[in-house]
Structure 1
Amino acid sequence: METESHDPREGLAPSTATVEDNRLLIEAVQKGDIKQVQRLLERGADVNFQEVEGGWTPLHNAVQHGREDVVDLLLRYGADPCRRKKNGATPFLVAGIVGNVTLLELFLSKGSHVNECDLNGFTAFMEAAVYGKVDALKFLYENGAEVNMRRKTKGDQKRVGKGGATALMDAAEHGHVEALKVLLAEMGADVNARDNMGRSALIHALLSSRHEHVETITRLLLHHGADVNIRGERGKTPLILAVEKKHLGLVQMLLEQEHIDINDTDSEGNTALLAAVQGRQERIARLLCHRGARVDCGNLVIIARRNYDISLAEFLLSHGAREDFPPPAEDWVPQNSCWGEALKHLHRIYRPMIGKLKIMIDEEYKIADTSEGGIYLGFYDGREAAVKRFLEGSEHALKEVSCLQNSRENCNLVTFYGTESHRDCLYVCLALCERTLEEHLAMHSRVAAEKVEDEFARSALLSVFKAVAELHLVGYAHQDLHPQNILIDSKNAVRLADFDKSIKHAGHPQAIESDLQALGRLVLYVVKMGDIPFEMLKVQNNEEVVQLHPDEEIQDLIHHLFSPGGSLQTQLHAMLGHPFFWSWESRYRTLQDLGNESDIKVRDTTSTILQKLARGPLERSRSFDRWTAVIDPDVMRKMNKFYEKNKNFYQDTVGDLLKFIRNLGAHINEKKYKKMKVIIGDPVQYFQNTFPDLIIYVYTKLQGTEYTRHFPQTQDLPKLQCDGAAAVESKPNGPV
């Protein structure tokens, strides 16, 4: 349709139109009285006048009534072709509803967008599907309409599950068979797309009571690959919905499908058979039983008798149903607190077992998304479990199971229960933990690490280091170390998880190097209490990561991870002896033991230990360079009194500081040094906070010497038991 290039209003007398004229214009358009429309426009009626209630303009009304001539006239008088009603609908969208291809083409030429939508997310393509306008569907498709576009809604609507539907769902729900055929066969509509409530086109068709073509549409959707076991709202499957619809033909059709799960349940644990018995559908119940439905899914016999379906009750008994079906224990209490409510619900409802596994694939029970099938709550052999779902034969599944099976003795990994297979899926069952490391750090406020011993960081990282070290020793590299894959269990023990990217590292030293690089970043992430996002650390180079923490001890640990020496396979195990993993108590005792060395006590400057500990002229400054001036003067005077006779007072050397620490520790608890005790307080904390870089200095200087016998050795570190984490302890101090 061509429109004139000039404005017909030019040259007209000034407007004398009233509000009544605007109302009359709307009425004239609705009646299709084009002459009256033109008279009112010539008199100055507002061509873009909008009704108060819905925001309808004359143009919207003309499109609704399919009056192309009136549309043309209104446009020539300046009607806005993109004006929206209160619900956001444009004339283009209304043209989609009425299926007028001529008007759709006209409005596209006037600036409408083929995928524009109203406030509820409806496009013209969706509207054409709702009303079964096949010609409009084809035209819009040819002009770029998105076939699988999902309805976008406002945030508050989406939060209650509204939106997300596609044109295919609309056609299925409203019973438009021809539209459905075109969408599936010619336009490639996604038959298993789901809306925000998880409903597919098949679910929409079975829920609808607006049409009589449900069998035809169901058969058509199944023919094009609709998932027969998909879940909709409240977890209901197509089979359960067909039973609730009391439609024997639909039930028979669904039972003919190759992969139908006849015993699947909804989110309340109801099976199709239970729904049939509750709905007094004896023919359907008998059909389900003949097709192998389990009869241990509820109080079937009691329900049938309560409904006076005596013949059905007898039939169920003959198929093995029990009259005394035991209800689940109401007082069962889950061990896991984070997932407690969902676990109680899953424990209460009926679910057909997959071997030793009880599970329900539903958002209520989802722990996390994965690249393949998600992680869900479950019960394995009666134990609360986290269940990773994979496609059978998946490469990721093979890696996960292989690594777990070959690392069963590694108690720092999440406990592996076993696997089950069902309907082309592999279920890997693991001990259920409370939260991830990332979540744990987010829950706890940061403490001043330089004043308070960070026991969590030390024990958590010790667990992770041991877990990865043992993986390396049995021939595996993790390859996916990050805070979401480190878990905290119900006893606050730290467990390493997620091995679906793990590889056997034989002949691939870069795989171990990759783990060490990730561990270096994890060290910084944990000691910084998650203040620096791990994803940010991953993109920074090694030198930048090292410099992000001022503490020399932590820098040294990270540096050794980034630049390991010796055998890569055993390198991480050797790092377990690093001072970072020593408790403050063990550090203090180590310093005392070194101070008790005879060469230090007599200050033999020619001895190996004092030469090793001597500060070089080019070394950077330390907190203990002038340590005698740092110690409280009263304490220093009392401690120097021991040497008044020979005037051999303490000097600003590392050796003398170690001797001072040893001697103070030997006497501080004596009654006559009560005042000194008040000043010093706990010597463990005092020396760590006063000289925080002393232990790493001593450790570095004495590496490779006989004096490392005073260090807590790797083999002396307590093993982290599988029932909880343990802090690192040192050996007891020797006699004074």
Structure 2
Amino acid sequence: MVETARTREIVTRLFADVASGDLPGVLAALGEDIVFDLPGNEFNTVIPNLKTWHGKDGVIEAFRLRTLNTDVVEFEQREMIVEGARAFVLNYQKIVHRGTGMAVSFEFTMSLTVGEDGLIHEWRAFFDSAPEIALFRSDIQQRLVAAVRDRDEEAIRVLLRDGADPGHREESTGLTVLQIAAGLGHAAGVAALLAGGADVHGVDTNAGCTALHKAVQNGDLATVRTLVEAGAFVDAVAPTTGHTALMDALWYKWPDVVAYLLDAGAGVNLGTHYGFSMKEHFEFELNVNSLGKDKLLEAEKLLRARENDDERRISEQQLMAATSSGETEQVEKLLAAGAEVDARFPVRNGFNDLHTPLLVATRDGHLAIVRALLAAGADVNATEPTFGACPLHKAVYNGHADITAELVGAPGVNLDFQGATNGYTPLHDALWHGYDDCARILLQAGARTDLVGHDGKTPLDIATDVFDAGHPVFDLLRASAA
């Protein structure tokens, strides 16, 4: 059995060697089967050496990792309690991060067990790792930027796991790390950042471009696809130029990206902020480019093919044409013949883009057509992408009380759908535009009065802005809220 005095002597010498940085002296005190246990868990992975290490090589690696970016500038053994072969030691140390200069100080406890051979076979540490977590995170954003620029997918994932901010913005460029990865055409890095919480819709601070704009500039189709599949707005516009991703794909001569964006529904009739339509801008590109003109001509064929396809689809959508012109009998004939009731209009940068016939009929006030479409199973909650509005929004916004009454009785209707652009429900919209008859129908059907728009206003707030204080709609709102 190891005597207390012997244990104290061995452990005292060990920590003297630790304090002086004498690694050979430290290793000489350890058994070959040493278990060096440092308190690693899912919350302190940023500290590189926190885990259970086995053998002297493990101890060497633990010390190496511990000193990669930090220096111990103060170390002190403050208290020791020894019971036979076991020692419990309270130590103090101050550590400085070489890159950032951040310093932390803390106490920690260690438990050590000495064997009959006079060597330490078990060495376990216990401490609050919060100060060191802050220390090792003090340069984590710089390391994330470096990993992104080095196209190091694994490092990106590890840094995000360890607490790096996926929305970090590089000060010198105004780019987020997602935009940097996208601009480099690093699809795997983009995917890792998105999985870690990066905002696919963020913009840079200089030009207002999205990550999709940056990916298109590089021309890597896999990166473009990754962003679009993650929800990037295909027609997001850079506020400085008015460019969409499709405009940039044409500008940078990437026909395969052009093809993909066209298939994804990118608009072809938009314009820049400096006076060119997309077609005019493309003609300008053809005139000023002497190199890569073959790629531009290939893209031109794709644009023409898309326009031809749109025209074909429009010509085939007889149900939409009949709905738009208010031809009830034709609508009924087409539905009876099996016309697709929820077919969406192609993107032509017009009023009906991606609308279903029901959205158009409710907007334009065609009551009989609304009834026919609902009877044929039209989606009563279909939304369009421009305002994120549903048929009820369309009806009440335009004051169609009769259509509102028809819709609120439709099976499965969502009376309280909040539009994407302003968070308004149909009740908000009815009150906002002064259509108290539409509001009354919604309230009697059970529309909620407690939902707030993006401006923080409830339906009652909207009514207060629009109607005189004695208007009957206030009694209805208060009764519904009771």
TM range (shorter): 0.3 to 0.5
TM-score scaled by length of structure 1: 0.27
TM-score scaled by length of structure 2: 0.38
Greater per-residue strand proportion: 2
Greater Cα radius of gyration, structure 1 or 2: 1
